[in-house]
Amino acid sequence: MMTLKEAVTDFLAQKRIAVAGVSRRSNQAANMVYRTLRDRDYEVFAVNPITDEVEGDACHPNLKSIPGGVDAVLIATTPRVAEAIVRDCAELGVSRVWLHRSFGEGSVSAEAAEYCRNHSITVIAGGCPKMFVEGADLGHRCMRLVLGLTGGLPKEA
């Protein structure tokens, strides 16, 4: 297993990242992560089966519909939906998954995380990329500190 730091570094080293769970409502966590990655020159792909456009960009109904595939997937959905998405990741050969969670349950599902581990997918089960990207805002840096101190961030991936 990788340490959290190693897994985060590896995840953020990828340039083609899908964000599953984006919404037409721009104040959702997935949208905020999507914008952050896009603004940092990642090639990001919005995934939501019920809309064609998010944040002014094309939105894909599922991972399979992304031309050329992706290197990593951030999941910011309900845990039940996360389980289905990690199965798609395994089928498509995506080897890096981040299950988003700041406070509360978020997208983390023990079953989804275990499925990833059993299928050679590095999984970060908690936290948010915005806590770790270069130039992270003060609020996300503080959340990283608090969650790290209280056990809200995983130790390993």
Tell me the pLDDT of the chain (157 aa) as tens digits: 799 999 999 999 999 999 999 999 888 889 999 999 999 999 999 999 999 999 999 999 999 999 999 999 999 999 999 999 999 999 999 999 999 987 667 889 999 999 999 999 999 999 999 999 988 889 998 888 888 888 888 888 8
Sort strands 72-75 and 96-99 into parallel, antiparallel or unpaired: parallel
Q: What residue has token string 């031309």?
A: 67
User: Domain 4-150, CATH 3.40.50.720 — does that match?
Assistant: yes
Q: Strand 57-60 and strand 53-54: pairing?
A: antiparallel
Residue 125: strand pairing partners: 99
Cα-flanking dihedrals φ and ψ of residue 18, to 5°? -90, 140
Domain boundary assignment for the chain = 4-150
Tell me how far apart the alpha carbons of residues 121 and 95 are, in angstroms, rounded to a whole number: 4
pTM for the model stands at 0.94
